[in-house]
Structure 1
Amino acid sequence: MFTYVVIYEIPVYGVHHFSLNLWNSSKPVKDPVKKPKWVNELEKNQPLLDLDTVILAINSVAAAKLALETRVGFKRSVCGFFIIISRSQSCVEYKENAALHRNSMWSSLAVDLLLGNLMGLALLVHAESVCQWILTFANVITNELLRSGSVWLMGVPAGFKLNTELAGVLGMISLNAIQIWSTLWIFIGFLFIYFIKGLALLGILFGATIPAALIIDMVSIATLHVSTLHWAISLLYSWQIQALAALWRLFRGRKWNPLRQRLDSYDYTVKQHIVGSLLFTPLLLLLPTTSVFYMFFTILSTTIALTCILIEVTISMIHCTPYIKIFLWLMRRRRFPSGIWFEIASCQNDSLEFARHDKVCSSSKKSYRNNDRGKDRSSIMVSFLHSNFLSIGQVVLPHYRKVFSGVSDIAITSAHGALTGKRTVSTLGTCLPSTMPWLSIPAREYWCLCRNSVLACMEERDCNECQ
């Protein structure tokens, strides 16, 4: 006969509970160097119990105890009402997860408003200096970088001999676009101080993410001339690359089949080969000039896109950081369990006797039972049930992975687009945290559900009183 007694602290909401999620947590103690025979035999046996069910029962024991005490101390009608409530929220682990999920939105909102007030007050105090600095920075970028760069590309950039006529045409187009935008920017500069103050007020009222999103839009508008020039040059560069690739296939006797998405053999005529040779040579010789202008504006456009992506990452991290979990982890780590382990207090039978404080870690769902090959021996085992706890990184990183799960192959896509003349990625494509359940349905439907739930509880209580 085998008797196994497990001593554990009753899970209480807001204090602690048990969980089988391991999260790759390290064991609190080292395993014994030599395991007893009964442990090796247990590892070979098939599990009799499902530890998920056992842990669920342990986490629900406090609610069952409360319901039992309520049944003894109150009338039947009131008891039935409390049993319904405790049954719906019987598992402490479920209550903890639901509360954390509910409070995450409010904590993110509070931090967002706090950062918005700090940023807004700072902008209001230094609005004029910030406005002057931005205008000076914009003029330096326009005059020292864009104008000088375009003039430099029209000459002999880095010792490369370019086509003078094509470089002159592309350079004059760039200079005219820059001059037009500079003229418009003079009129915008007078209103820029009001825009800074508007951002400050929005940050104070609605939080930091609203003005941050507006800054992304304003950066895109303020650099519209760079984006337009990059689009025009990339279009020219892409057409040139595609024409050279098609002419190269002509020389090889191959033709692209758009229906089957493959290269097929094709017999070209002599006239087609002559026309192809006449077109291939000038296009190939003009490619370095186009490439230099394309690389210059691609670098500028990529820098602007990286700035916007950095602001987008900041917004996503403000939304997805679990502030309430970090605070609770600092105050009470026991609310974040990660796996269970047993501390054996005593184990006695006819042939074995273990001392106190032997450790056995549970990292798999196995039930411990005695198997002495048919021998009937009286055995008693007493152990304490303990939990491992999550580290701060294990608490925070899953939220970041969930938000940035849609970000993949951004660098490869951008590099391929830069080489082929396609537009590069201007946004990271992060996913905002999932909204609360009551935010996924219309307000009218939400209040109808609340009213029906209250009425259903009242009707059930009336039925119990009638009984």
Structure 2
Amino acid sequence: MSTYVVFYGIPVFGGHHYSLGFKSSSEQVTNHCKKPEWVKDLNRKRPYLDLDAVILSINTANAARVFTEANYSAKRSRAPFHFFCMFSILTWQLLAILLASFSTIFYVILQFFHACLIHVSHSYIYVALEKVFSNTCKNMEIRCCQLLYWPVILKDYGLRSQSCVEYAEKAAFHKHSMWASLVVDLLLGNFLGIILWSRARAACVWVSSFSENATNYLLRTGCVWLMGNPAGFKLNTELAGVLGTISLIAIQIWSTLWWLLGFFLIHLIKVVAVFGSLFGLTAAAALIIDTISLATTHVSALQWLLTLLYSWQIQAVDALWRLFRGRKWNPLRQRLDSYAYSVEQHVVGSLLFTPLLLLLPTTSLFYIFFTIMKTTISFVCIAIQFGISIIHATPYIKIFFWFMRRKRFPSGLWFEIVLCRRNATNSAEVKSADKTVSGSEDPRHCRSAVLVSFLHSNFLSLRQVVWPHYRNVFSDVSRSSIALSAYGVLTGKRTPSAPKIGLPPTLPWVSIPYKEYWRLCHEAVLDCRQDCYCQLHQ
């Protein structure tokens, strides 16, 4: 009869635990002897053990006992550490009171502004501002809900999550991920806010010069260039003159408006700095996206107008070409059917087809030029939006603990065989861990008696830890979506816009009495003290 003894480290919260993984790690197994016959027989047999239940039992063992002993160890050792315990309790109580009071004041301010917004939410000005600053409103709502819900997420609601080390680890990472993201976002926002506030005038000069150069050397020069013979193309002079004149008038009107509003540009930069300091980098970046979209409204309007003209012209040419082929589009069956057109229809189609086809190059060049401008602006907004999504999705607390203690991220199991004792049929020879069986010995005559091994874990790489959180950010970016956008641009049906992906879910607005909210914040901080105390004792 064979005996298999496995030694393993007891899973401890904050230390390590075991988890099954899909990664093959046969190269990490250190065999000091040949595999016993009973192991080969076991591999050939149908497995009857539920390995998930075994790992759950290992992770559950000792967890509740360690947690209970950590809670009551202070009572048994109160005499030698009385002063230290009293000082620690007093410090945590003061910290809990300060954080609860500050959070309650912020809670009162948010509730006041929320009530004011409810009263003016039906006005046309509010609806217009909400559409213009949609990204800012979305990120502000997410940030305000995170600031309101931090005591609810940090509060410990029972000992059930402490019964298993694996569940306790996942609950702790989920509980601390929101405030870690909030702290990092606020630190980055304060860094940006300090730089913008101290260099507001220099930033104002740079933005003014950049917008002036973009208007003069890109838009105006490009329109004048298209009104002539761009790249040697012979365009329709009358149509090019009309389109170019309309574009130049729209550019001039919008430039005059922004020149009048340029006196408030330095105040806008300071508002972005204040937003970054109070609500984090994501809120400031969202305000920048909305400001860029508002400042380039004339480009969007001209591109939209030319898109309509280009798409109608393409559709008309396509329909007239089907007329000459004797085909007609069937919208019900989504296919082309044969159709007998009359002579009058062919004559009218010929008269319309020739000028539309000859005017198409002129419209196409204007459409291509403004589409390139609009696509460049959209790509800038998309890049900033992806940055916002990455800031929200990055698991900062997991990255920190990955560098400090990788054992908290297990992935798969492997065994280190340290002792393999064999009983041979023809001799009583004993093989230990530092010796190997002779190659001339027939393994069929050997039966294993004792096998001793240590249970070890593989660990996740940094990419494996971070990538599942980024999967939602890049979920809408695929080859099919890129191909669909390119086809839409060519046919005048679609242009790329900033995606609304990768943002945390919006939580419902919380409205509870002020005293109850203060008590909730106070208990949440004290629960964190209990978690820290348990980890120190474990």
TMscore range, shorter length: 0.7 to 0.9
C-alpha displacement of 1:383: 1.1
Matched with 1:412 is: 483
Matched with 1:251 is: 324
C-alpha displacement of 1:331: 0.6
Whether contact under 8 Å (1:407, 1:428) holds in the other structure is no
Structure 2 counterparts to residues 62-141 of structure 1, below 5 A:
62-66=62-66, 88-141=161-214
- CA 1:114 to 1:51, structure 2 compared with 1: closer, same or farther past 3 Å? same
Counterpart-to-counterpart distance in 2, 1:136 and 1:50: 69
Whether contact under 8 Å (2:399, 2:462) holds in the other structure is yes
Counterpart-to-counterpart distance in 1, 2:508 and 2:477: 24
Matched with 2:150 is: none
Whether contact under 8 Å (1:346, 1:353) holds in the other structure is no
Matched with 1:293 is: 366
- CA 1:337 to 1:275, structure 2 compared with 1: closer, same or farther past 3 Å? same
Counterpart-to-counterpart distance in 2, 1:338 and 1:2: 29
Whether contact under 8 Å (2:32, 2:434) holds in the other structure is no
Matched with 1:41 is: 41
Task: State the AA in 2 paired with 1:19.
Answer: S
Structure 2 counterparts to residues 278-289 of structure 1, below 5 A:
278-289=351-362
- CA 1:383 to 1:33, structure 2 compared with 1: closer, same or farther past 3 Å? closer
How far does the alpha carbon of each residue in 1:161-188 deviate from its partner, in whole angstroms, 9 at most, with x for none? 0010110110000011011111101111
C-alpha displacement of 1:443: 5.3
Matched with 1:202 is: 275
Secondary structure of 2:336 counterpart = strand
Matched with 2:398 is: 325
TM-score with structure 1 setting the length: 0.83
C-alpha displacement of 1:395: 1.0
Matched with 1:55 is: 55
Q: 1:392 aligns with which of 444, 462, 474?
A: 462
Equivalent pairs counted in the alignment come to: 423
Q: Identity of aligned pairs, percent?
A: 61
Counterpart-to-counterpart distance in 2, 1:443 and 1:58: 43
Q: 1:423 aligns with which of 494, 499, 523?
A: 494
Matched with 2:472 is: 402
Counterpart-to-counterpart distance in 1, 2:321 and 2:360: 14
Secondary structure of 2:416 counterpart = strand
Secondary structure of 1:404 counterpart = coil
Counterpart-to-counterpart distance in 2, 1:18 and 1:265: 69
Secondary structure of 1:402 counterpart = coil
Structure 2 residue runs of 5 or longer lacking an equivalent are 74-156, 436-442, 524-538
Counterpart-to-counterpart distance in 1, 2:186 and 2:509: 25
Structure 1 residue runs of 5 or longer lacking an equivalent are 74-83, 359-371, 455-467
Whether contact under 8 Å (1:25, 1:390) holds in the other structure is no
C-alpha displacement of 1:285: 0.8
Matched with 2:124 is: none
Whether contact under 8 Å (2:189, 2:282) holds in the other structure is yes
Task: State the AA in 1 paired with 2:476.
Answer: G
C-alpha displacement of 1:273: 1.1
Task: State the AA in 2 paired with 1:410.
Answer: S
Task: State the AA in 2 paired with 1:427.
Answer: A
Runs (4+) of structure 1 exceeding 6 A deviation are 30-34, 67-70, 375-378
TM-score with structure 2 setting the length: 0.73
Secondary structure of 2:433 counterpart = coil
How far does the alpha carbon of each residue in 1:3-52 deviate from its partner, in whole angstroms, 9 at most, with x for none? 22110000000000000023567843577997554443322211121111
Counterpart-to-counterpart distance in 1, 2:161 and 2:388: 36
Counterpart-to-counterpart distance in 1, 2:391 and 2:63: 36
How far does the alpha carbon of each residue in 1:270-325 deviate from its partner, in whole angstroms, 9 at most, with x for none? 11111111111111111110110000000000000000001001111111111111
How far does the alpha carbon of each residue in 1:80-130 deviate from its partner, in whole angstroms, 9 at most, with x for none? xxxx96555211011101111111111110110000010000001100010
Counterpart-to-counterpart distance in 2, 1:384 and 1:301: 62
Counterpart-to-counterpart distance in 2, 1:414 and 1:310: 16
Matched with 2:7 is: 7
Root-mean-square deviation (CA), in Å? 3.1
* Greater length-normalized contact order (CA 8 Å, ≥ 6 residues apart): 2
